[in-house]
Structure 1
Amino acid sequence: MVERREIEIFLTVGEELHFGRSAERLHVSVAMVSKTIRKLERSVGASLFERTSRRVAFTAIGRRLFEDLRPAHQEILDAFARAVASGRGLDGVLRVGFLGTVTAEFVLRAAELLRTRHPGCEVRLRESRFTDGTAPLRDDLIDVLLIDNFAAPVPGLAPGHSAGPVLFREAPVLAVSARHPLARREAVDVSELARYEMLRPRPPSEQAERTSAPGEAAEGSVAGQAPRWAAPRGAERLFPAGRAQSPSAPGGTPGGRGAGRNTEFSSVQEMWALVGAGHGVFPVPSHASVYDARPDVAFVPVEGAPAYEWRLIWLSSADNHRIRAFSEAARDYAAAHPDPLTGAAGAN
């Protein structure tokens, strides 16, 4: 009976046509390679290689055996690899959520890297809304979510959630109307922002109706904090909440529009429209100033504020090898690209 190791040695010698190089590839001695080939030749009843002090060449029988064995051996290896991948939970579909067009590009690049490593894993993308928080995970719409630390601060993750390492960081900028007084500033200090009206995502009606027992965090919220929808991507945790006192007050929006009320929005495009119209201001990651630029909105750097930190989160109960493999691919892609949102190559 021919053993698997003997087949591997024969095929390696057939590829290298050199006993020494074959031994190096297989991490065995040259004597072991020679002994194995002689054993196979005895089993076949004929020489498989012509050997001299200068060269090794196939005999006709040896070449035919090599050509018959190599594809069959590869099929066996492929079948075993598929079985291992399936057993480890790598084959199948992974649903990845993201916020915004630019972060979708990052997720796509990480998914491409994952597929090169694990071809049996299919990644499907789903865009999340500002107001969703971690609800798509809980509702089994996605398996893993790329989110920033203000939408889901890691120390305050709701029970049952797990988080990967920080993938990349961005400085915050304040989106304001191009006609807003802040639009002419080179920067604004975080301590000033209580004077300006802050937009906030509108809570979905079904989420607003949910209640929690005393001492428990509402579903979709951060434990010990207000519900997720009450803090626009963490704006009220990042910046002091504030509203204009009157149309003429420093915090008043141009023309007094929006003064004295906390304007809400349901989508990213609605948020940009409200900002552009002067109905409020809103903190965003710095990539927005490039990828979401529009003539009616200005972006002002915020000094003294912590950075946005992007990472993957998932339900602890749903943890599997696909999620871990994707997290590893995302980490490796980010480490190899100084600007992972644009795909600029290099090393951090």
Structure 2
Amino acid sequence: MVERREIEIFLTVGEELHFGRSAERLRVSVAMVSKTVQKLERSVGAALFERTSRRVAFTAIGRRLFEDLRPAHQAVLDAFARAVAAGRGVDGVLRVGFLGTATAEFVVRVAELLRTRHPGCEVRLHESRFTDGTAPLREDVIDVLLIDNFAAPVSTQAPELTAGPVLFREAPMLAVSARHPLARRAAVDVAEIGRYEVLRPRASPDRAVRTSAPGQPAGKAVPGQAARWAVPEGAEQLFAWPEDASSYPLGGAPAGGAAGRGAEFGSVQEMCALIGAGRGVYPVPSHASVYDARPDVAFVPIKGAPAYEWRLIWLSAADNTLVRAFAEAARDYVAAHPDPLTAPA
């Protein structure tokens, strides 16, 4: 096996074509340079340099090896340099994931604040789907994810994830068809939701991830969903998908309707289209009533349900100064704006 130092000596001799200058440049003895070249030649089975008392020149094999190794060696050095720059300096590209229109605008405003502090930063946005969960982080699609406690309950996060503090909270609302009986209500109790067809985020078993650490109890699993769709404590009735009418909390399905497990969706647009068509209902954060408003969908406040809590999460192994700077900018933006999802005047 060729060692890194041996490659460096060979490349330096190839650049200098002089053993003495190569030794001086590398701060080693001429004897060390000569022994290393001889060792490499034995490994290759042929001479790499033609050496006389007056000159050093490549052999044909030596030149080919030099031309093959030099760009590959430089690529390795460049990769390490970029890693060091990302780890030590607040510059470079940060990929931030979000879910929904309002959170996208929040991420954009935080990115603008970050750039005023660190002009060398570039933030690239990535819209996640309901079914993605934390997969984009684990698959190296994004570096940071703005996510709520229903999509990734903090109490059941895997230990390899770092979660920042709660940035803001939102009251839950039930999105229903404008023709639905609940659309005329001032509010709906969380215990009533199980009477209606609740839409389901489409499961992706091939991308499912654990939401609990090995050996620890997981959050309560959402029926029929991938493992990542665990429900936060106290929110079970928001996602009530009973198998039969006898299990409905208020004595069965509403008259004239077949309650149960609703249709599946993968994006906000799919969810709204299904709700507008009367295919089911779904709990959403309150900002959806403004950013996802449409004439065929109504939003009804939910009583007795926990709030949506939004925070940034990232892989602990990918933690660096750029990630932390973005998290700090997010906290500072929220501190300066009582309603962080509303554009500043």
With the length of structure 2 as denominator, give the TM-score of the two structures.
0.66
Per the TM alignment, residue 245 of structure 1 is displaced from its structure 2 partner at its CA by 3.1
Asked if the contact 2:96–2:144 (Cα under 8 Å) also holds between the matched residues in 1, the reply is yes
2-structure distance, mates of 1:233, 1:178:
28
Per the TM alignment, residue 237 of structure 1 is displaced from its structure 2 partner at its CA by 3.6
Match of 1:282 in 2: 282
1-structure distance, mates of 2:293, 2:311:
24
2-structure distance, mates of 1:87, 1:136:
21
Match of 1:313 in 2: 313
Match of 1:114 in 2: 114
Given the alignment of the two structures, is residue 301 of structure 1 paired with residue 301 of structure 2, yes or no?
Answer: yes
Match of 2:150 in 1: 150
2-structure distance, mates of 1:300, 1:99:
21
Instruction: Specify the code of the residue in structure 1 equivalent to 2:326.
Output: F
Measured at CA, do residues 211 and 162 of structure 1 come closer, stay the same or move farther in structure 2, by a change above 3 Å? closer
Give the 3-state SS of the residue equivalent to 2:280 in structure 1.
coil
Asked if the contact 1:150–1:235 (Cα under 8 Å) also holds between the matched residues in 2, the reply is no
Measured at CA, do residues 252 and 229 of structure 1 come closer, stay the same or move farther in structure 2, by a change above 3 Å? farther
Asked if the contact 2:196–2:260 (Cα under 8 Å) also holds between the matched residues in 1, the reply is no
Measured at CA, do residues 146 and 235 of structure 1 come closer, stay the same or move farther in structure 2, by a change above 3 Å? farther
Match of 2:241 in 1: 242
Residue by residue, what CA displacement relative to the aligned partner does 1:109-158 show, whole Å, maximum 9, x if unpaired? 00000011111111111000000000000000000000011111212111
Asked if the contact 1:201–1:231 (Cα under 8 Å) also holds between the matched residues in 2, the reply is no
Give the 3-state SS of the residue equivalent to 1:311 in structure 2.
strand
2-structure distance, mates of 1:277, 1:101:
21
1-structure distance, mates of 2:299, 2:233:
18
Match of 1:13 in 2: none
Asked if the contact 1:197–1:242 (Cα under 8 Å) also holds between the matched residues in 2, the reply is yes
1-structure distance, mates of 2:87, 2:121:
13
Residue by residue, what CA displacement relative to the aligned partner does 1:39-60 show, whole Å, maximum 9, x if unpaired? xxxxxxxxxxxxxxxxxxxxxx
In structure 1, list runs of 5 or more residues that go unmatched. 1-83
Asked if the contact 1:197–1:251 (Cα under 8 Å) also holds between the matched residues in 2, the reply is no
Match of 1:271 in 2: 271
Measured at CA, do residues 106 and 233 of structure 1 come closer, stay the same or move farther in structure 2, by a change above 3 Å? farther
Match of 2:90 in 1: 90
Residue by residue, what CA displacement relative to the aligned partner does 1:3-50 show, whole Å, maximum 9, x if unpaired? xxxxxxxxxxxxxxxxxxxxxxxxxxxxxxxxxxxxxxxxxxxxxxxx
Measured at CA, do residues 132 and 105 of structure 1 come closer, stay the same or move farther in structure 2, by a change above 3 Å? same
Match of 2:138 in 1: 138
Counterparts of 1:1-348 in structure 2, within 5 Å, are 88-204=88-204, 206-207=206-207, 223-226=218-221, 227-228=226-227, 230=229, 237=236, 239=238, 241-243=240-242, 245=245, 251-252=253-254, 256=257, 259-344=259-344
Give the 3-state SS of the residue equivalent to 2:119 in structure 1.
coil
Residue by residue, what CA displacement relative to the aligned partner does 1:299-343 show, whole Å, maximum 9, x if unpaired? 110011111111100011111111100000011011111111113
2-structure distance, mates of 1:318, 1:133:
18
Instruction: Specify the code of the residue in structure 2 equivalent to 1:152.
Output: A
In structure 2, list runs of 5 or more residues that go unmatched. 1-83
Give the 3-state SS of the residue equivalent to 2:96 in structure 1.
strand
Asked if the contact 2:174–2:281 (Cα under 8 Å) also holds between the matched residues in 1, the reply is yes
Residue by residue, what CA displacement relative to the aligned partner does 1:81-128 show, whole Å, maximum 9, x if unpaired? xxx986623111110000011100000000000011111111111000
2-structure distance, mates of 1:92, 1:311:
22
Instruction: Specify the code of the residue in structure 2 equivalent to 1:287.
Output: H
Per the TM alignment, residue 216 of structure 1 is displaced from its structure 2 partner at its CA by 6.6
Per the TM alignment, residue 190 of structure 1 is displaced from its structure 2 partner at its CA by 1.0
Per the TM alignment, residue 287 of structure 1 is displaced from its structure 2 partner at its CA by 0.6
Asked if the contact 2:173–2:284 (Cα under 8 Å) also holds between the matched residues in 1, the reply is yes
Per the TM alignment, residue 259 of structure 1 is displaced from its structure 2 partner at its CA by 3.8
2-structure distance, mates of 1:121, 1:169:
28
Measured at CA, do residues 87 and 233 of structure 1 come closer, stay the same or move farther in structure 2, by a change above 3 Å? closer
Asked if the contact 1:161–1:315 (Cα under 8 Å) also holds between the matched residues in 2, the reply is yes
Asked if the contact 2:131–2:203 (Cα under 8 Å) also holds between the matched residues in 1, the reply is yes
Give the 3-state SS of the residue equivalent to 2:271 in structure 1.
helix
1-structure distance, mates of 2:137, 2:323:
13
Give the 3-state SS of the residue equivalent to 1:191 in structure 2.
helix
2-structure distance, mates of 1:180, 1:87:
53
Asked if the contact 1:150–1:234 (Cα under 8 Å) also holds between the matched residues in 2, the reply is no
1-structure distance, mates of 2:173, 2:287:
9
2-structure distance, mates of 1:296, 1:238:
25
Match of 1:4 in 2: none
Instruction: Specify the code of the residue in structure 2 equivalent to 1:171.
Output: A
Give the 3-state SS of the residue equivalent to 1:145 in structure 2.
strand
How many residues are matched? Answer: 253
1-structure distance, mates of 2:96, 2:141:
9
Measured at CA, do residues 319 and 117 of structure 1 come closer, stay the same or move farther in structure 2, by a change above 3 Å? same
1-structure distance, mates of 2:273, 2:234:
18
Asked if the contact 1:138–1:315 (Cα under 8 Å) also holds between the matched residues in 2, the reply is yes
Match of 1:21 in 2: none
Asked if the contact 2:96–2:143 (Cα under 8 Å) also holds between the matched residues in 1, the reply is yes
